[in-house]
Every structure is written in C-alpha cells, then in structure tokens.
Structure 1
Amino acid sequence: MLYGIAAATAALLLAAVLTALLRVPALRLGILDRRRQRPLPALGGLAVVAVTCLVAWVGEWTRVAPLGDGVGKLLVAAAVVAALGLVADVWRLRARVLVAGTAVAAACVVPYDETGVPGGALAVGWIVLASLAFKGLDHADGLAGTVGVVTAFGAGACAAAELMDGLAVLLSVLAAALTGFLMHNWHPARVGLGACGSLFTGFLLSSSVVFTRAGYAIEPSAAVVFCLGAVAAADAVLVVIARLLARRPLLRRRPDHLAHRLRRLGLTPQGSVVLLGAGSFASVLVGVLVHTGWTGGGAVSWVAGAVLLVVLVLLRIPVQPPRRGASTQVRGQLRVRNG
C-alpha cells in the first residue's frame, strides 16, 4: 500500500518534469501533431511511457512490488506498441502497420489458457480496437489523458478485487503518469500525447481489463469491458458512422469527433473535456460495480443506451471543414513567428 502511494507520487512528478523537458526537442526535431489548429509537440506520450516503465521496473527489480505472472510481459508488449507509435509520430506510418503491430502484441499477451482460443481471438480484436479508439481520443486538449486516468483507476479497482496487486499498482502508476502529463496538456496544451502515448495507454488499459476478466463468461465480461471503454467506443462509433454516411474515407482526419461536435454546441474546450470525463467516470463506475458484483448486468443497458443517445444526437451536429482562408492565415502567422 505504502509502495503504491510512493510509486504513484514519483510517477506523477517524474512525468510532469520529463514532459516539460521533451517539449523543446520535439519542437526542434519537428515531431508535431498537426491535427490541431496549431502544431503541437507530440512527445508527451514518450514521457508517460518512460516513467510508467521505469517505476514499474524498479518495483519489480527490488521485489517490493512484483508485477506477477504475465503482467511483466504485458508491459513489455505495451512498450513495443508505444515504440511503434513513436515511429508513427516521427515518420507517419500507415494505419495498417499500426493495426498489424498492435494485433501481434495483443496476441502475445492474451492468457489463452483461461480465455480459450475463441475467447482469446475476441480479446485480441478488442485490444486492437480499443487501442485505436483511444488513439482517436487524442483529438482535444486533455481528453485522452482525462479518460485514461479515470479508466486506469477503474481497471485498477477491478484488478485489486481479483487480488492482482502487481497489476493494480501498475495501473495506479499509469494514472499518476498521465496526471503529470495533463499538467502540460490541459487547454491550451503545450504538448500532446501522440500515437506513442495514446496507443501505449489504450493497449495497457484494454489488456489489463482482459487479464482481470480472464476465466469469466464472455457475456458479462463483454459488458464490463464495454463500460470501461464507453467514451472511446462512443467516439469511434460516431466517427465511423458519420464518415460512412458522408462517404468520406474512414482514415482521413476531420474535426468530427466527440469534443469537436460538443464545441459546436457552444461548450468551451475545457467544458467539453470535463463533460466527457464525467461520462467516463459514470460508465467506469458501472463497470467496476458489475465486475465486483455490487450491481447486476442490467445497469450496463443504461450505459449502452446513453452511448447510443449521444451518438444519435451528435450525428445531427454539422461539422464544417476549416475555411481555406483561415488555414492560410494560420500558416502565415506561424511563418511570421518562426521568422
């Protein structure tokens, strides 16, 4: 218990410092997230990955907080996915490469002896989809970090209920590292999470949920998994449906995600993130209560209904592409600043 508190505190402070330090190299090397209205340094995720792995390794090396069976391999696989994301941040890899790499990493960590081959295949598909959906949440300042912190605490509570102390500590360290990162990512953000940090976080969270639900029946496990990832699922479903209806390429970046549409309703950037964070907290709480047996599976239907309602309502919000003149003006301002 005391080590968990100390590890989380150290992770928060280290992540806050390292995120600030990595901002300048990202600017000088041109490692930027250009999806925003302004180019944003995208090495914040590297700080989250490095700090999470370092603190977890110290606990394992000193045997003060051993990770336990399979958790160390899970962390290594998540680090490999993060490395793939870092390459994507620097050289812009194709989406199919990210999907294939994440699928291979997921296939290496799923506990097939407990899930069985069919359940393991479903788990691999879930981990891949959840990782990519979480990457999609990095479209607004503070959103991916906020949802990641809430989900990490929920998944950690599920792990603690299964007496997986090492996994619970790892998730608390991840939550603390994301909190340190959020000090620099809250609107207006000074650094972004990037594919490196978003894929790492999504992979680690989804894989951890698979570990905690291994051995349970598929139907209740799917309900818990859905609740823990409801906001990311809502964002992914909204984007896919909107682009299919508009006959636009699924992988082409557009301002049509959850936070974008909420802002068109009049919410501030901070307000939209707080609202989605509150929604994530509510759905994660339901998932934890269902996992621990405090409530029945019927509560999941309320979460599913809320997700469906949000998607249907926000689909009606028009999304306008940025004006050509406005984008030209932004580029001109950037040239003036750099000159």
Structure 2
Amino acid sequence: MNVLGIIASGVAALFITVALAKGARRAAFRPHVPDEPAGRAPRARALRRTGGPAAVLGVGAAVGGALWLGAADDSAGSVAGLLAGAGTVAALGLVHDLKPLWGALRLVVQTAAAVLVVSLAGLSPAAGVLAVLWIVLVTNAFALLDHADGLLTAVGVVTAAGLLACAAVGGSPALALLPAALAAGLAGFLLHNWHPARLRLGASGAQFTGFALAASGALIQAAAPSGRAAWAALPALATVALADTALVLISRRRAARSLLRDTDDHIAHRLRRVRVTVPGTAVLLALWAGVPVATGTLVYAELLHPALLLLPLAGTAAAVFALLRIPAYAPPRTAPPRTSTRRTTEHATGAAIPSAASAPGAAPTPGKASPGSGKAAGTARTAAGRPTVPPPPTGRPAAEAAAVAAERS
C-alpha cells in the first residue's frame, strides 16, 4: 500500500465522519424532541451520547473501501480482522448506550473480539495471550477518558498519529491504514465534540477508538523488525489512558469505594477542581499524551535510546501522585444528634414532646395543667383527670329530643 492510499483513506474518513456527525447533530437537536418539565431533554441527551456511530461508520467505510480496492496487499486479513473486531465492540457499545449491559458481558465480547484479531494476525500462543490482555486493558482505559468534552477525541488523534508514524517507519504501511483513518475521523468528529459538545462518542465510539488503537499497536509490534525496541516504545503511546485508570483505581481503593462505580474522580475532574477550564483540560491532556507518543515513536524509529522512555513515564507517575492530593470525594455527611432533631421538630411544629407525666394512666401533677390541655380546653374531665365520654347519639333531631324530654318532665 502506498502513501497516496493512506492519505486517500484518511481524507475519506474525515469527510464521511463530518457529514454523518452533522446529520446526527441535527437529529439530536430537532425542535420536536420533547423536553421534561425541568428543562431537560432526555431523548436529545441520549441521541448526543450515541454520536459515536458517526465516527465508527466514517472510519469503517474508509477502511472497508480501501480493503475492497485491494490497498492492503498481503495484510488484508489482519486489517479485516482488526476492523471486524472493532466493529463488534462498537455494536456492543451502542447497545450499552441504549440499555446498560453488565460489565462481565462487555469484557467477554471484548475478549472474543481480541481473540479474533490475534487469530487472524497469526501470532504465537504466548504472544497472542499477552496481546489479548493488552487489547482488553487499553480498550477500557481509553473508554474511561470519555468523561469530558473533546478529551478522548483529542487524545485519540494524538495516539493514532503516533501509531501511523510507527507503522510507516516499521515498513508495515497496510497496518497504518486504520490509524490514519481513525486519526482523520476523530479530527472530524472533534468539530462537534469540542466544548460545549453537541455530540458525544458514547460507549460505542469510545470502545471502538480504544479497541482500534490497542489492536493496531499489538499488530504493529508483532510485525516490527527484530532490531527495534517495539516492546518498550508502543506501550508508551497509551500512557495517558493508563495513568487515568491507575489514578481512578488507586483513589477509589484508598477511599474504600466501589472500583466499578463511575464517579467524578478522573484526571479531568480533578483539573476542574483547580479551576482548569474544560477546553484547557482537553488541550493539556493532548499535550501530555504527545510527550510519550513522540518519545515512543522516536525510540521505535531508533532515533532515541529506549532508556529515555523512563523520562515521560517518571513524569506521568509524578503527575498521578500530585493529582491524588486533589480531593475528589465530598466528605461524608454526619447525622445530627437525635435530641437536636427532636427539638427542631418541636420548634417547627409547635407540638410538645410527651413526658412521663402525660403517659396513659399517670396521675396529673397538682396545680399543673396536663399536656394537651391547651389544645382541648373545652373537653370536660372527671376528678381523675380523664375526659368524659359523651352519650351515644340517639339519631333523633334536636327538636324531637327536646319534646320527648319535656313530656318526661
């Protein structure tokens, strides 16, 4: 596959994604979409979350067209398997966007798609197992970045560009087909995903992006020449996504919270607490991702020593340690004392708290009115302090009852 084919697939992915995203945006903001009384539009919100299929279809159409034209040469099987696995994960994500699925089911489908990619790539059993674990891990790590406007899209563009450069340098132009189309498609989707976002990638687009990046990296590493340090260079391209995952797991573990329940404890959320804007967060993380991506690409091209990869990794570890010091969870609310609650209730309602003297059967204190006497001042009471029981009604009118009493007298 030549350079012109890669450029053509990228341009096709860009224009198709922009056109589909524009249609999805119009569908999400239609005037007749009903709103809730509180001013929220649940249907529009759901449509904006499902904007990911626009990017998936744009990238898939560009890569599929290139495969149909025979642009992948001998690596057509590997690229087709990669595209099939990413499409399967994207379809599962779309179902999850419409109706949430169990996490175990998603892991099973992602593992099956990764096995499909590894099988068609012809990797050895040991390398295949490691590749499957890596693909599943990185897929979910990138999917977790879809919690802020433009964040996953910007980081995905930078990472896909690094994979494209590594594939071109390593002599595997066919494996550069999907990273090129993905970088262009995400760049087109970024026009609608920038803050304030009109469309979101959702689980469909996020999992497709993570799976395509992870699987492309695994295949590029498997096809790398023996003299290159691909084992150290390519994993560095996912530094930001893995750092966000590590930050979330460590903070939830320290706070004794559920590891699977998503809360506002990601990198972008902590940066927002120190007054970094939403666009600034996307730009900052894209620049952060660019450092290990550039370093890994230069190491893969044998222009830098592999030991230099420790610099961005050490900087990332220091950044995670600094972000852990930013509070991510609100302090737990303490319940007010029971006595103060009862006093507040008494003050608000005006009702007196019953005491032992007002218990049933207790004798009243001489010279002191019994509780509740102010509310029932007109109720007659006996010498024991108990209310008198009125006679049962006779069912006769008042005039008739008066006449009967006069006759008896």
- TM-score bracket, shorter-length normalisation: 0.7 to 0.9
Distance in 2, matches of 1:115 and 1:70, equals 11
Match in the other structure for 1:3: 5
Letter in 2 for 1:15: T
State the secondary structure of the residue aligned to 1:68: helix
Q: Indicate yes or no: 2:323 matched with 1:314.
A: yes
Distance in 1, matches of 2:91 and 2:120, equals 25
Q: Indicate yes or no: 2:65 matched with 1:58.
A: yes
Letter in 1 for 2:276: L
State the secondary structure of the residue aligned to 1:140: coil
Alignment of 1:200-279 (within 5 A): 200-214=208-222, 220-279=229-288
User: Is the 1:111–1:211 contact (alpha carbons within 8 Å) kept by the matching residues of 2?
Assistant: no
TM-fit CA distance, 1:70: 1.0
Q: 2:296 aligns with which of 282, 287, 290?
A: 287
- The change in CA–CA distance for 1:14 and 1:123 in structure 2 (over 3 A counts) is same
Q: Indicate yes or no: 2:76 matched with 1:76.
A: no
Q: Indicate yes or no: 2:168 matched with 1:177.
A: no
Match in the other structure for 1:332: none
Moved more, 112-121 or 8-17: 112-121
Deviations for 1:259-313, whole angstroms, at most 9, x for unmatched residues?
Answer: 1111111211111111110011111011111112111111111121111111100
Distance in 2, matches of 1:322 and 1:15, equals 44
- The change in CA–CA distance for 1:113 and 1:77 in structure 2 (over 3 A counts) is closer
State the secondary structure of the residue aligned to 2:76: coil
Q: Structure 1: 5+ residue runs without aligned partners?
A: 325-339
Q: 2:56 aligns with which of 49, 52, 58?
A: 49
Match in the other structure for 1:163: 171
Letter in 1 for 2:325: R
Match in the other structure for 2:380: none
Match in the other structure for 1:86: 94
Letter in 2 for 1:254: T
Match in the other structure for 2:18: 16
- The change in CA–CA distance for 1:202 and 1:19 in structure 2 (over 3 A counts) is same
TM-fit CA distance, 1:12: 1.3
Letter in 2 for 1:128: V
TM-fit CA distance, 1:118: 2.1
Q: Indicate yes or no: 2:112 matched with 1:104.
A: yes
Distance in 1, matches of 2:147 and 2:64, equals 31
The number of residue pairs the alignment matches comes to 317
User: Is the 2:89–2:109 contact (alpha carbons within 8 Å) kept by the matching residues of 1?
Assistant: yes
Deviations for 1:58-83, whole angstroms, at most 9, x for unmatched residues?
Answer: 11212245563411111111101111
User: Is the 2:175–2:219 contact (alpha carbons within 8 Å) kept by the matching residues of 1?
Assistant: no
Match in the other structure for 1:194: 202
Match in the other structure for 2:156: 148
TM-fit CA distance, 1:104: 1.0
> Which structure has the greater CA radius of gyration?
2
Q: What is the alpha-carbon root mean square deviation over aligned residues?
A: 2.6
State the secondary structure of the residue aligned to 1:189: coil
Distance in 2, matches of 1:209 and 1:113, equals 12
TM-fit CA distance, 1:108: 1.5
TM-fit CA distance, 1:320: 4.0
Q: Which protein has greater RCO, CA pairs closer than 8 Å, 6+ apart?
A: 1
User: Is the 1:149–1:175 contact (alpha carbons within 8 Å) kept by the matching residues of 2?
Assistant: yes
Match in the other structure for 1:336: none
Distance in 2, matches of 1:70 and 1:82, equals 18
Q: Structure 2: 5+ residue runs without aligned partners?
A: 334-409
Letter in 2 for 1:17: A
Letter in 1 for 2:319: V
Distance in 2, matches of 1:323 and 1:56, equals 51
TM-fit CA distance, 1:24: 4.6
TM-fit CA distance, 1:240: 0.4
TM-fit CA distance, 1:323: 12
Letter in 2 for 1:84: L
Distance in 1, matches of 2:70 and 2:97, equals 35
State the secondary structure of the residue aligned to 1:70: helix
Distance in 2, matches of 1:26 and 1:161, equals 42
TM-fit CA distance, 1:87: 0.7
Letter in 1 for 2:258: P
Percent identical among aligned pairs is: 41
Letter in 2 for 1:10: A
Match in the other structure for 1:138: 146
- The change in CA–CA distance for 1:171 and 1:191 in structure 2 (over 3 A counts) is same
User: Is the 2:71–2:174 contact (alpha carbons within 8 Å) kept by the matching residues of 1?
Assistant: no
Letter in 1 for 2:14: L
Deviations for 1:12-62, whole angstroms, at most 9, x for unmatched residues?
Answer: 1221121121235457599xxx9xxx9461122101110111111111212
User: Is the 1:235–1:258 contact (alpha carbons within 8 Å) kept by the matching residues of 2?
Assistant: yes
